């Protein structure tokens, strides 16, 4: 059985860290985001097809060095093709039922149970569903008691919403779905393909799950997912190998070979590998990239510091992105130094 993992985007809202790495390789609790996802796949899934575009070489290198007990196929798209186009581009590798998963979603969905539900319902397509409080911000599903989805309703008023359930980004599809997708086009599964399957087959189902669900698309959610997973593990902080921690870490994660000086407080922050934090420093809701040094007496709140940057002693920063290097060629042009929560 196959799983297609969509990992082709630039991750512009996670800049400056995606200036230097593929979004799916961003560390979460000191392990690439995509590794967390692959570890949730049922044993029945023996082949993983990675739909990639930006920084393909990094992704290939990672999977050459790490074995997950599955065949990994790096399927480079000639250009971004959207969810539908990426799925169609992988069709030569599909032999039966297959998952389609977003690399940037961390959640408690049990994919093996979703597979059993799909097979029991003899579904053509099954999508994961997650409840939300404010339905007017999302597209919600109109769903019957047996799990059949009859339509999607985009951003309804609360009183008009048929449910509080949104598409949570994990799909289980039969090969016939590929026939709906025109090759080589930028196509949205959600807007262009799913409504056709609903209309033509009546075998389009939703699988509800509980626990946690987080789209790691912004710096703020990147920090939040660390805090959530630390809480799940009942830990106040995590450090990698060969760290020297003389200060205090709370709700924070430090990578390998990280040094934190005396009288320094790191709160709700993520430190990548090879980071050096001086003495008497305060970090609050920050992400600090690889090979970064933060000088003594600095105070950083809601700050993202890109790889290889140097922050001088006594620097005070609030709500900014630190990046003083060239932007990689071909990376979408975005203003540098804007609000971290964007």
Q: Are residues 181 and 290 in the same domain?
A: no
Q: Are residues 45 and 138 in the same domain?
A: yes
Residues written for the chain: 342
Residue 123, Cα to own-chain centre: how many angstroms? 27
Hey, is 33 helix, strand or coil?
A: helix
Instruction: Give me the chain's average pLDDT, please.
Output: 92
Confidence check: pLDDT of 339 > 80: no
Q: Among the three residues 194, 215, 236, which one is the final residue of a domain in this structure?
A: 215
Active site residues: 155
Q: Which pLDDT score, from 0 to 100, does residue 281 have?
A: 98
Residue 84 or residue 32, greater confidence: 32
Q: What is the pLDDT of residues 98-108, one digit of tens each?
A: 999 999 999 99
Q: What is the pLDDT of residues 198-208, one digit of tens each?
A: 999 999 999 99
Q: Which pLDDT score, from 0 to 100, does residue 8 have?
A: 81
Q: Are residues 230 and 207 in the same domain?
A: no
Q: Is residue 103 part of a domain?
A: yes
How many independent structural domains does the chain possess? 2
Q: What is the CATH number of the domain that holds 307?
A: 2.160.10
For the residues of 203-254, what is the DSSP string, one character each? -EEEEE--S-EEE--SHHHHHHHHHHHHHHTT-SEEE-SS-EE-SEEESEEE
Q: Which residues pair with 121 in a beta bridge?
A: none
Q: Are residues 144 and 234 in the same domain?
A: no
136 — phi, psi (to 5°)?
-70, -10
Distance CA 226, CA 237 (A): 9
Q: Which pLDDT score, from 0 to 100, does residue 334 have?
A: 55
Q: Are residues 129 and 267 in the same domain?
A: no
**Residue 87 contacts by C-beta under 8 Å, 6 or more apart in sequence?**
4, 51, 100, 173, 177, 178, 181, 189
Q: Are residues 175 and 301 in the same domain?
A: no
Q: Which pLDDT score, from 0 to 100, does residue 341 have?
A: 41
In 3D, which of 196, 190, 154, 169 has the Cα closest to residue 114?
169
Distance CA 229, CA 22 (A): 22
For the residues of 288-331, what is the DSSP string, one character each? E-TT-EE-TT-EEES-EE-TT-EE-TT-EEES-EE--SPPPTTS
Q: Are residues 242 and 305 in the same domain?
A: yes
Q: What is the pLDDT of residues 214-260, one digit of tens each?
A: 999 899 999 999 999 999 999 999 999 999 999 999 999 999 999 99
Burial environment of residue 182 by CB neighbours within 10 A (0 to 12, 13 to 18, 19 or more): exposed
Predicted TM-score (pTM) of the model is 0.90
Q: What is the CATH number of the domain that holds 61?
A: 3.90.550.10
Q: Is residue 341 part of a domain?
A: no
Q: Are residues 254 and 277 in the same domain?
A: yes
Q: Which residues pair with 75 in a beta bridge?
A: 51
Confidence check: pLDDT of 172 > 60: yes
Structural domain range at position 128: 2-215
Q: Are residues 122 and 258 in the same domain?
A: no
Q: Which pLDDT score, from 0 to 100, does residue 77 have?
A: 78
Q: Is residue 330 part of a domain?
A: no
Q: Is residue 311 part of a domain?
A: yes
Confidence check: pLDDT of 55 > 60: yes
Q: What is the pLDDT of residues 110-121, one digit of tens each?
A: 999 999 999 999
Q: Are residues 195 and 233 in the same domain?
A: no
Q: What is the pLDDT of residues 140-165, one digit of tens each?
A: 999 999 999 999 988 889 898 999 99
- How much of the chain, in percent, has pLDDT values that exceed 90? 80
Residue 222, Cα to own-chain centre: how many angstroms? 9
Residue 107, Cα to own-chain centre: how many angstroms? 10
């Amino acid at each position: 059985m196959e799983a297609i993992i969509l990992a082709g985007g630039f991750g512009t809202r996670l800049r400056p860290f995606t200036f230097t790495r593929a979004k799916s390789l961003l560390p979460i609790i000191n392990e690439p985001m995509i590794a967390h996802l692959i570890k949730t796949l049922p044993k029945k899934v023996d082949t993983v097809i990675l739909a990639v575009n930006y920084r393909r070489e990094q992704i290939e290198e990672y999977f050459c060095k790490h074995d997950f007990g599955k065949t990994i196929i790096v399927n480079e798209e000639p250009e971004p093709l959207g969810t539908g186009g990426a799925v169609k581009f992988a069709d030569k590798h599909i032999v039966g039922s297959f998952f389609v998963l977003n690399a940037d979603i961390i959640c408690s969905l049990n994919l093996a149970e979703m597979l059993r539900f799909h097979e029991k319902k003899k579904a053509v397509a099954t999508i994961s569903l997650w409840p939300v409080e404010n339905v007017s911000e999302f597209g919600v599903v109109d769903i019957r008691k047996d799990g059949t989805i009859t339509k999607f309703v985009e951003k309804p008023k609360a009183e008009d919403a048929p449910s509080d359930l949104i598409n949570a980004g994990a799909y289980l599809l039969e090969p016939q779905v590929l026939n709906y997708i025109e090759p080589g086009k930028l196509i949205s599964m959600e807007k262009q393909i799913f409504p056709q399957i609903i209309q033509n087959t009546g075998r389009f189902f939703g699988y509800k799950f509980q626990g946690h669900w987080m789209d790691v698309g912004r710096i703020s959610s990147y920090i939040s997912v660390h805090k959530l997973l630390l809480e799940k593990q009942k830990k106040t902080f995590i450090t990698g190998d060969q760290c020297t921690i003389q200060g205090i870490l709370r709700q924070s994660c430090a990578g390998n070979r990280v040094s934190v000086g005396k009288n320094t407080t790191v709160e709700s922050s993520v430190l990548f590998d090879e980071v050096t934090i001086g003495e008497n420093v305060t970090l609050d809701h920050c992400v600090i990239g690889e090979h970064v040094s933060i000088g003594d007496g600095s105070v950083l709140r809601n700050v993202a510091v890109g790889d290889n940057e140097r922050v001088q002693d006594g620097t005070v920063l609030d709500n900014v992105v630190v990046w003083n290097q060239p932007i990689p060629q071909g990376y979408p042009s975005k203003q540098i130094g804007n609000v971290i929560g964007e």
